[in-house]
């Protein structure tokens, strides 16, 4: 009963649209003496090439027997354009903080001098 099954790979994008990527049918022969035992089989599938940013989404694997269906947890893949540079705001935040502290320091000094007069 469980020797014939189908494997399906698909993607769900940010708009919850499902796109089928690959599917195949399997018919596994059970060796003599291995009946009624649990077996684990691994199936790897590489999704390449990822053409453009529309390939971004969560990728799933689903296995379906006659009356049973199991779906994986999914893997989120973010595809970026060629030449994308991840921006870092570290220097901008540091400079802004230094300028703000400088302005506050000058203002506090001016207030102290004004209060003294």
DSSP the chain: --SEEEEEEEEE-TT--EEEEEEEEEEPPPPTT-TT---------------SGGG-EEEEEEEE-SS-EEE---EEE----TT------HHHHHHHHHHHHHHHHHHHHHHHHHHH-
Please indicate whether residue 60 or residue 14 has the higher confidence score (pLDDT): 60
Please indicate whether residue 96 or residue 80 has the higher confidence score (pLDDT): 96
> Per residue in 38-80, pLDDT tens?
777 787 777 776 666 778 889 999 999 888 999 999 999 888 7
Same domain for 90 and 73: no
Same domain for 108 and 69: no
Same domain for 68 and 30: yes
Q: Which domain holds residue 112?
A: 86-116
Q: Which pLDDT score is estimated for 84?
A: 66
Please indicate whether residue 8 or residue 78 has the higher confidence score (pLDDT): 8
> Per residue in 101-114, pLDDT tens?
999 999 999 998 88
């Amino acid at each position: 009963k469980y020797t014939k099954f189908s494997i399906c790979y698909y993607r769900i994008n940010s708009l919850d649209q499902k796109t089928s990527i690959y599917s195949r049918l399997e018919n596994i022969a059970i060796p003599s003496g291995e009946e009624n035992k649990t077996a684990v089989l691994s199936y790897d599938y590489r999704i390449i090439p990822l053409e453009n940013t529309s390939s971004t989404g969560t990728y799933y694997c689903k296995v379906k027997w006659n009356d049973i269906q199991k779906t994986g947890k999914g893997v989120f893949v973010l595809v970026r354009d060629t030449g994308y540079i991840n921006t870092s705001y570290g220097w901008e935040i540091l400079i802004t903080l230094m300028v703000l502290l400088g302005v506050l320091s000058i203002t506090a000094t001016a207030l102290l001098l004004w209060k003294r007069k």
